[in-house]
Amino acid sequence: MRTPSQPFGEKEYALREDEDSSSLARDIERDEPTYARSGSGIMSGSTRYLRYIVFAFVALVVIFFISSSSSQVPGHEAAKGMLAKGQGWTGSAHAGTGEKVGSSLEKETDALPLGSAHQTVDSKPAAVPAHTQAPSKQDTSPNPYASSPATSHLTSSTNAGPRMNATFVTLARNSDLWEISRSIRQVEDRFNHAFNYDWVFLNDAEFDDTFKKVTSALTSGKTFYGKIGSEHWGFPSWIDQDRAKKVRNEMREKKIIYGDSVSYRHMCRYESGFFFHHPLMLNYEWYWRVEPSIELYCDIPYDPFKFMADNKKKYSFVLSLYEYVETIPTLWDSVTKFMAKHPEHVAKDNSMAFLSNDGGKTYNHCHFWSNFEIGSLLWLRGQGYTDYFNSLDRDGGFFYERWGDAPVHSIAAALMLPKDEIHWFEDIAYYHVPFTHCPTGEQKRIDGKCHCNPKDNFDWNGYSCTEKYLQVNGRSKPEGWEKEQ
């Protein structure tokens, strides 16, 4: 350092102050002691010029370094943005960075030449989590946060354990294909994907290839397709055709639903008395009836067939209601006649109180809704049910009225089975137009991953018979039912 006596003007001093900021400039100054000590005016002027030039050069170099190193910053940051954008994800690993940052980075990225962006991705800045570093030859990579099959609570696998000798059964026309496909998908998703039970399809005509192709693709078990013989789908010889036709015309005028339909009557009679005798059904002991366009709202994580077998149940239901009186005016007369003729088939501990409010004199029209049924085929093929059906069939009410298979099955079960052989599947959440059964109790619905609205539950509606069923069985309504109305 020079002392103030040395020949530096104000300007020079000022320059020296600037010069102090650069060690390089200081070194240059120290390398020129000769000029300063010589005292020559010319020499001292040219030294000053030289010094200015050197300073100017040094200043240019410094400015260049500063500007080139700061231009690296946006490139680096932009590459990070590009990386994140390439992953299609700027989420949790960058939590707190905010949307604004992401969007400004994207703008800079767009301005970058492709080559430089790739280079930065490959350089993998330490601040970027490892999982966002895409391999250079791929434009995607696995998500390490995704549940593994072993940990996902939605994962399903085939259920271990024994299977019952059981099948699903559906009566359908080819035109029912898309409606039954919806039902199959629901049954498979909620239950059968884990159990793989067979499915028998029955039709009064041949199933076409499309029906078979689509339904067999949707089912996890084996599928079988059967044509119903004319002896089970048509008018029996003892039916008076004119009388039957007259009834249909009257019902059409009264606008009774399906009142004028011949095929609906064949269907009801077939479901009442014959489906369990079809050659394809003879291979099984248990059936689960599935109709088109139903919904299952909750998972069924256990095997209801096995439940039925283990608990000695023979018939089950989900929804119950009152039958449309005009369709069955003389059904109870026929039933009474059957009971008088075959008292041996009437169970001791039966559910007459479910069917009649006056000890059996009259029918209250309560029935289990048979579009859902899980039941014993052995029971339906047994002597009691056979005598019952034959007796009713002879009376002709399937054609002279419009008896439905629901009251026919229900009356049989209520009279010929002890009470404890009938089961209400409260946990099977089900819909068939227009009624819904949604289980009572939030925890039950959460556990079952249910998607029904509890307010849609039909059970405690005045038109349902389920409360009566519970009373007859000495049971009360599920806890909390009143909070879910």
Binding footprint of ligand GTP on the chain (CB under 6 A): 170-173, 176, 203-204, 263-264, 267, 291-292, 371, 433
Smallest distance from ligand GTP to CB 431, Å: 11
Residue placing its CB nearer to Mg ion in the complex, 272 or 371: 371
C-alpha closest to that of 47 among 62, 61, 29: 29
The closest alpha carbon to 377, from 162, 163, 168, 161, belongs to: 168
The CB density around residue 220, as the number of other CB atoms within 10 Å, is 18
Residue 373 annotated in active site: yes
Closest-by-Cβ residue to ligand GTP is 263
Give yes or no for a cis peptide into 142 (omega within 30° of 0).
Answer: no
* Four-residue CA torsion sign, 277, 281, 286, 290: negative
State the nearest-atom distance from the C-beta of 371 to Mg ion, in Å.
5
For CA atoms 85, 90, 96, 100, the dihedral sign is positive
Cα 112 from Cα 83, distance rounded (Å): 13
> Is the Cβ of residue 49 or residue 463 nearer to ligand GTP in the bound state?
463
> How many residues belong to the chain?
485
- The distance of closest approach from Cβ of residue 374 to ligand GTP in the complex, given in angstroms and rounded to an integer, is 16
For ligand GTP, which is the closer residue by CB, 82 or 247?
247
Nearer to ligand GTP, 223 or 371 (CB): 371
Smallest distance, Å, CB 105 to ligand GTP? 58
**Torsion angle, alpha carbons of 438, 300, 469, 320, to 10:** 60
Minimal distance, residue 433 CB to Mg ion, in Å? 7
Amino acid at 368: F
Q: Which residue number, 52 or 178, has a Cβ lying nearer to ligand GTP?
A: 178
Which residue number places its CB atom closest to Mg ion? 291
Contacts (Cβ under 8 Å, ≥6 apart) of 294: 182, 183, 186, 371, 372, 430, 431, 432
Min. distance of Cβ 406 from ligand GTP in angstroms? 8
- Tell me which of 373, 401, 421, 484 is the catalytic residue: 373
Looking at the Cβ atoms of 327 and 457, the one nearer to ligand GTP is: 327
The token pair that represents 144 in the structure block: 């390490």
Residues near Mg ion (CB under 5 A)? 291, 371
10 Å CB burial of residue 253 (0-12, 13-18, 19+) is: exposed
Question: How buried is 322 (Cβ within 10 angstroms: 0-12 exposed, 13-18 middle, 19+ buried)?
Answer: middle
Pairing, β 198-203 against β 223-227: parallel
Q: Contact, 264 vs 258, CB < 8 A? A: yes
Catalytic residue ranges: 373
